[in-house]
């Protein structure tokens, strides 16, 4: 394969190369576009700043259950609250609290999609809150989810009437995902609008802020813990090794276990590191990664992951971004990936004695 690519790039074969590769690039670009739309995380380039930024998309309610590792007990605990018939209030609220990437949204998705939960509620609604916590915006989002109506230009008064009518006599489940706003006044106004419903209604809030958790919950906030050692390893194995080659080299497995220990049980960190190591095949590479990683203090891991990405030269960011285009468990052939990078013009020749393929590999 390497030989083939070198021949392609030889000066004598530029024309044939352009012609053949033209088709290939088109096919690859189409494929990437399809894959890109299938990703939960998008890395997109902002042209005005000519830099790539990591952005987390708005959440949605779906998660394939088999992708989730070790959250059975947490799921049961939240479900127990959702089904608890002893709760007197019409609508009771629980918040799932924990740092970013811990799996709060994932846990809420698991619960939301559970069959028993589905049967228990007349209406289920999923709203990604993030930064836009104004009562109007939230009412709009909730109503849009429940009715799918066009709400543009509607007066607030009409919106609140419609919302109350929609949930009136219904037992609903509402997930407010990723709440940041600590203004309890806003929350109270929203809660008034959401209280006109059947007994047994529930709101699940996910948040990084303990303060939000305290303001919004009517029961003790649910503090989500990281994955334990074994579960962290299972997730890492799934992401870092090619299927069927799970840690076949016992030294690599040992290094991997030390790396995972540093991930603090945070699935987002385990997944990101696992995906980075997927491309490293030799023990030396794993060892040097472990050394570098060990220097990062525990609390700095998430910012560092982002930072190391931010600090890459622009063309390498694009290489990294194109890796993110592949689905989570897609087996990426490194040579194929380098071809993609070359084809898209990402691989720059910094050293004229090196071939593009060698530059891409390094």
Q: Which of residues 301-360 bind ligand ADP (CB under 6 A)?
A: none
The Cα–Cα gap between 214 and 216 comes to: 6
| Listed ranges 3-11, 105-113, 222-230, 318-326: which one lies at the site for Mg ion (CB under 5 A) | 105-113
Return the residue nearest ligand ADP (CB atom).
Answer: 103
The minimum distance between CB 271 and ligand ADP, in angstroms, equals 5
Residue 26 CB partners (closer than 8 Å, separation 6+): none
Q: Alpha helices of 84-228 — where are they, by DSSP H?
A: 104-113, 115-120, 135-147, 156-167, 184-194, 210-216
If the CB atoms of residues 105 and 232 are measured against Mg ion, the closer one turns out to be 105
Work out what residue 124 binds among ligand ADP, Mg ion, none; the CB cut-off runs from 5 to 8 Å by kind: none
Can residue 200 be called a binding residue for ligand ADP (CB under 6 A)? no
Residue 354 CB partners (closer than 8 Å, separation 6+): 362
Per-residue x/- track, 216-255, ligand ADP (CB under 6 A): -------------------x--------------------
The minimum distance between CB 251 and ligand ADP, in angstroms, equals 26
The Cα–Cα gap between 328 and 314 comes to: 24
Can residue 100 be called a binding residue for ligand ADP (CB under 6 A)? yes
Strands 91-97 and 222-223: what pairing?
parallel
Strands 91-97 and 41-46: what pairing?
unpaired
The minimum distance between CB 101 and Mg ion, in angstroms, equals 8
| Listed ranges 94-102, 124-132, 304-312, 346-354: which one lies at the site for ligand ADP (CB under 6 A) | 94-102
Can residue 160 be called a binding residue for Mg ion (CB under 5 A)? no
Tell me the three state secondary structure of residue 173. strand
Q: Which of 200, 226, 264, 267 binds ligand ADP (CB under 6 A)?
A: 267
Query: Could you tell me how far CA 79 lies from the centroid of its own chain?
Result: 23
Q: Which of 105, 181, 201, 322 binds Mg ion (CB under 5 A)?
A: 105
The minimum distance between CB 206 and ligand ADP, in angstroms, equals 6
| Listed ranges 190-198, 211-219, 263-271, 289-297: which one lies at the site for ligand ADP (CB under 6 A) | 263-271
**Total of residues contacting ligand ADP (CB under 6 A):** 19
Report residue 44: phi and psi, to 5°: -125, 150
If the CB atoms of residues 41 and 330 are measured against Mg ion, the closer one turns out to be 41
Letter string b/e over residues 32-54, b meaning 16 or more CB atoms within 10 A of that residue's CB: eeeebeeeeeebeeeeeeeebeb
Compute how many other C-beta atoms are within 10 angstroms of the C-beta atom of residue 17. 16
Q: Which of 24, 2, 55 is nearest to 357 (CA)?
A: 2
Structure tokens at 361: 């590999």
| Listed ranges 98-106, 207-215, 313-321, 338-346: which one lies at the site for Mg ion (CB under 5 A) | 98-106
Residue 271 CB partners (closer than 8 Å, separation 6+): 235, 239, 328
Can residue 106 be called a binding residue for Mg ion (CB under 5 A)? no
Q: Which of residues 64-93 bind ligand ADP (CB under 6 A)?
A: 67-71
Residues that bind ligand ADP (CB under 6 A): 40, 67-71, 98, 100-106, 206, 235, 267-268, 271
């Amino acid at each position: 394969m390497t030989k083939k690519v070198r021949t392609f790039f030889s000066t004598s074969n530029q024309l044939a190369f352009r012609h053949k590769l033209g088709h290939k690039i088109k096919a690859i670009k189409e494929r990437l576009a399809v894959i890109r739309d299938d990703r939960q995380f998008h890395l997109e380039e902002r042209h005005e700043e000519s830099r790539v930024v990591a952005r987390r998309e708005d959440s949605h309610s779906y998660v394939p259950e088999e992708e989730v590792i070790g959250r059975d007990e947490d799921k049961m605990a939240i479900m127990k609250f959702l089904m608890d018939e002893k709760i007197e209030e019409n609508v009771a609220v629980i918040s799932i609290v924990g740092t970013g990437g811990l799996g709060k949204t994932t846990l809420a998705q698991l619960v939301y999609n559970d069959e028993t939960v589905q049967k228990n509620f007349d209406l289920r609604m999923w709203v990604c809150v993030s930064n836009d916590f104004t009562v109007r915006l939230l009412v709009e989002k909730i109503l849009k989810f429940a009715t799918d109506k066009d709400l543009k230009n509607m007066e607030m008064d009409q919106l609140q009437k419609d919302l109350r009518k929609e949930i009136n006599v219904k037992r609903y489940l509402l997930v407010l995902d990723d709440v940041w706003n600590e203004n309890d006044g806003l929350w109270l106004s929203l809660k008034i609008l959401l209280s006109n419903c059947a007994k047994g209604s529930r709101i699940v809030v996910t948040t990084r802020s303990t303060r939000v958790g305290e303001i919004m919950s009517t029961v003790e906030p649910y503090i989500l813990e990281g994955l334990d050692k074994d579960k962290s390893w299972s997730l890492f194995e799934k992401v870092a090794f090619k299927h069927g080659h799970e840690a076949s080299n016992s030294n690599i497995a040992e290094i991997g276990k030390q790396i995972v220990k540093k991930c603090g049980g945070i699935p987002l960190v385990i997944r990101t590191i696992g995906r980075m190591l997927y491309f490293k095949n030799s023990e030396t590479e794993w060892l040097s990664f472990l050394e570098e990683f060990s220097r990062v203090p525990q609390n700095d891991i998430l910012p560092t992951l982002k930072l190391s990405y931010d600090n890459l030269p622009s063309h390498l960011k694009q290489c990294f971004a194109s890796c993110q285009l592949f689905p989570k468990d897609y087996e990426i052939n490194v040579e194929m990936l380098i071809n993609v990078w070359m084809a898209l013009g990402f691989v720059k020749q910094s050293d004229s004695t090196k071939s593009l393929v060698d530059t891409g590999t390094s």
